[in-house]
Chains A and B, each alone.
Chain A
């Protein structure tokens, strides 16, 4: 657990960058610091590994006061990922990743084996190790940056705007990988971003900071969307938050049986309606219009792929989206990829109507630690 106790940082007297911040980042969770520029989120993060020394207050990691640990020693136990990756251009990818294990006194062979292992984990196997950072794309460089932070298997990783400099497609992939790796390894992560969507996607708990380094709200993403503490947070969280909050709500929605047609076989019946096509394993493939198929077998060219598919126990947002995006008005739901039936928008909406509003008005500060966030 990382605990900031009344931490302040003043660069110029009387103008705090961070003002009396008290915050707890729970072990094994992703805690996100989010806010507009000038809110002191990066300063707060960098005080944890003493890249910046606080003007007052204490920072404890697992009960140990960081001020009592030599800065370099402290940092070697904490993974660190920054915006532009900051890879060493003169070292190969493999040697970049080996850096911290080597600093920690590991032998060359052991460090190299570990580096290959973590590179594999972030999706950069084999040959990538021999390349230089200059030969990689921005997204790949940031993967190496993550691998480098993971290399010595730290229990805490700090991430400062790790994905804001990569293109949107690569960013999504990196976010998914961080979620997967964090779930696998149980690492405690503190992440800074200015992007509220990223905060909601990645954070178990999200701390919203306002200008001058004041904590505005600290709660689970669902809670943040449902109960913004004040106008500033509401404004920052942005539009569509009612809809986005459905990402965190789960409820039973009536599932109707669906009689599908099989790809590669004739329809076998007459219908004016859209029909759902599945493959041999009963996995939904798309919708067909019977008139377009005619007498022959259903072929891939006949498929309309407009609809999204939701897991049967998915969040209400996914179920509603499946229903709304389906050309037939019937939202496809699956269990382990296999067709489970369809849902109707009307019925999802009435479930939403009846469901209790997410409650537990958010409490500022670390006392709200009991409110566990739900993974989107």
Chain B
């Protein structure tokens, strides 16, 4: 079993060309990063607003937990069925999936940013206001830096969610490492499926480690004891 998987993984033909392992890994990473960026563009401002002003927190908390209940496979199929007839070429394969990836990536970031801002020491906020910081200055000089550990872990779990959903999205035609799993199954080739599974797990692991290193670099050592992820 392990030998056949290893044979598939080490077969040079699987490493070559547009459908090869390096190309699909990069494709998986590219799609995931685009989705993460789109999710962050939506989630970060909303999270900052809710955290800073305290307005709409009940709505936010409920929306986040409701989103968690939605099965990603179901929405992928719904998006594909709705959008596929209207799209041409590469866009037809990518756009429906990317939209779903981004939407499902929003809740973890939203709750991370919101919770991060919310848990900033009230005394520090009060002091910041009392020494004459404007709303923006408080947000960027005090609240965001103090919230970074939780913002980062929100981004990390969003990225994990996106990588996992991108794997599934191969079933509606998305490129990336999920192709090996889906195509392997279609061709009854367990070595390809298992090889792809190992690769996608490795990719997720490596990305998570890279993100954790970035987190360590951007979070102030003064916060090291708190908000461990």
Q: What residues make up the interface of A, taking CB atoms closer than 8 Å to B?
A: 49, 51, 71-78, 80, 82-92, 99-100, 103, 132-134, 145, 148-149, 158
Chain B residue nearest in CB terms to A132: B222
B141 contacts across to A, CB distance below 8 A: 88
Residue in A90, A91, A99 whose CB lies within 8 Å of B131 = A99
Q: What residues make up the interface of B, taking CB atoms closer than 8 Å to A?
A: 121, 123-134, 137, 141-142, 145-146, 148, 219-223, 225-226
Contact assessment for A80 and B127 in the assembled complex, using a CB-CB cutoff below 8 Å? yes
A103 contacts across to B, CB distance below 8 A: 131-133, 137
Min CB–CB distance A214 → chain B (angstroms)? 26
Known pairs A88-B146, A103-B132 / 6 extra A-B pairs, C-beta < 8 Å = A72-B133, A76-B132, A86-B127, A89-B220, A89-B226, A99-B131
Contact assessment for B131 and A74 in the assembled complex, using a CB-CB cutoff below 8 Å? no
Task: Jot down 25 A-B pairs with beta carbons below 8 A, ordered by A.
Answer: A49-B130, A51-B130, A73-B132, A74-B132, A75-B129, A75-B131, A82-B123, A82-B130, A86-B123, A86-B126, A86-B127, A86-B128, A86-B130, A88-B128, A88-B141, A89-B146, A89-B222, A90-B219, A90-B222, A91-B220, A103-B132, A103-B133, A132-B222, A133-B222, A148-B127
B145 contacts across to A, CB distance below 8 A: 88, 90-91
**Main SS of the interface on chain B?**
helix
Contact assessment for A91 and B132 in the assembled complex, using a CB-CB cutoff below 8 Å? no
Min CB–CB distance B214 → chain A (angstroms)? 16
A82 contacts across to B, CB distance below 8 A: 123, 126-127, 130
Q: How far is the CA of A100 from the CA of B132 in the complex (A)?
A: 8
Q: How far is the CA of A301 from the CA of B124 in the complex (A)?
A: 51
Q: How far is the CA of A158 from the CA of B222 in the complex (A)?
A: 27
Min CB–CB distance B96 → chain A (angstroms)? 41
Contact assessment for A134 and B222 in the assembled complex, using a CB-CB cutoff below 8 Å? yes
Q: How far is the CA of A27 from the CA of B133 in the complex (A)?
A: 25
Given the interface contacts A86-B123, A89-B226, does A80 sit within 8 Å of B146 by beta carbon? no
B220 contacts across to A, CB distance below 8 A: 89-91, 132
Given the interface contacts A80-B130, A100-B132, does A88 sit within 8 Å of B123 by beta carbon? no
Min CB–CB distance A144 → chain B (angstroms)? 11
Contact assessment for B124 and A89 in the assembled complex, using a CB-CB cutoff below 8 Å? yes
A80 contacts across to B, CB distance below 8 A: 127, 130-131
Q: How far is the CA of A286 from the CA of B14 in the complex (A)?
A: 93
Q: How far is the CA of A76 from the CA of B129 in the complex (A)?
A: 10
A158 contacts across to B, CB distance below 8 A: 130
Contact assessment for A132 and B131 in the assembled complex, using a CB-CB cutoff below 8 Å? no
B226 contacts across to A, CB distance below 8 A: 89
A84 contacts across to B, CB distance below 8 A: 121, 123
Q: How far is the CA of A85 from the CA of B126 in the complex (A)?
A: 10
A90 contacts across to B, CB distance below 8 A: 145-146, 148, 219-220, 222-223
Contact assessment for A91 and B137 in the assembled complex, using a CB-CB cutoff below 8 Å? no
Residue in B127, B129, B223, B225 whose CB lies within 8 Å of A87 = B127
Chain A residue nearest in CB terms to B131: A100
- Most chain B beta-carbon neighbours within 10 Å: one of A76, A92, A132: A132
A92 contacts across to B, CB distance below 8 A: 222
A72 contacts across to B, CB distance below 8 A: 132-134
Contact assessment for A89 and B131 in the assembled complex, using a CB-CB cutoff below 8 Å? no
B124 contacts across to A, CB distance below 8 A: 86-89
Q: How far is the CA of A218 from the CA of B139 in the complex (A)?
A: 40
Q: How far is the CA of A292 from the CA of B121 in the complex (A)?
A: 60
Min CB–CB distance B138 → chain A (angstroms)? 10
Chain A residue nearest in CB terms to B145: A90
Chain B residue nearest in CB terms to A99: B131
Q: How far is the CA of A82 from the CA of B134 in the complex (A)?
A: 19
Chain A residue nearest in CB terms to B148: A90
Min CB–CB distance A162 → chain B (angstroms)? 12
Min CB–CB distance B28 → chain A (angstroms)? 34
Q: How far is the CA of A145 from the CA of B127 in the complex (A)?
A: 9
Given the interface contacts A85-B123, A88-B124, A90-B145, does A75 sit within 8 Å of B130 by beta carbon? yes
Given the interface contacts A51-B129, A72-B133, A99-B131, does A83 sit within 8 Å of B123 by beta carbon? yes
